[in-house]
Amino acid sequence: MKILSLILISSLPLSAFARMGEDRAECLERYGKAQLECDGEYEVNYSLFEKSIYKIHANFWGGVIHQMGYTKETELTDLEIAYILKVNKGGAKWRRLDESTWMTKSGALTAIREDSNTLTIFTSKYARYYWDSKDQELEDEKLAGLRGL
């Protein structure tokens, strides 16, 4: 069974998945034109790419990918998840925290299986930035009526 798994992993095309930290030019080279591009909140730009049966949702912050979502119409298999984690780990090693969460030993990357057909990976730096920005926005809304006092 291990041999079959290794054969299947090695047969997945290496170009099928983007990598954390890639810039837009690298993604365009890997996938071609994005299916959708838009500016998001908090200085984050979003692109949707399609490759084979996968949709790759890339959030660019500071010009490079800091969050990626991988989806397909059917359930992501354990083999697919293992491969996605492998190509996105850089030099780090993943450890499984529970049934749906992985983190690199350094804590720099986190991966969450959101549902049966979606895996999202993000940097800790991006998560802190995003949630700090969100918290600031909520605080500003609460204090809006007090301005000018």
Q: What is the pTM of this model?
A: 0.73
Is 135 part of any domain? yes
Is 30 part of any domain? yes
For residue 95, CA distances in Å to 13, 19, 132 come to: 24, 18, 26
In DSSP terms, 49 is beta-bridged to 56
Which token pair is 23? 């810039």
| 8-40 pLDDT tens trace | 333 333 334 458 888 999 989 988 899 989 887
Among 66, 58, 57, 45, residue whose Cα is nearest residue 109: 66
Among 33, 42, 101, 36, residue whose Cα is nearest residue 66: 42
Q: Identify the domain containing residue 98 by its residue range.
A: 14-140
Is 40 part of any domain? yes
Is 82 part of any domain? yes
Backbone angles phi, psi at 83, to 5 degrees: -70, -45
Is 83 part of any domain? yes
Count of domains forming the chain: 1
User: Average pLDDT of the chain?
Assistant: 81
Is 50 part of any domain? yes
| 46-67 pLDDT tens trace | 999 999 999 999 999 889 999 9
Is 129 part of any domain? yes
Backbone angles phi, psi at 146, to 5 degrees: -95, -10
**Are 119 and 69 contacting, i.e. CB atoms less than 8 angstroms apart?**
yes
| 102-116 pLDDT tens trace | 999 988 899 999 999
Is 103 part of any domain? yes
pLDDT band at 119, cuts 50/70/90?
very high
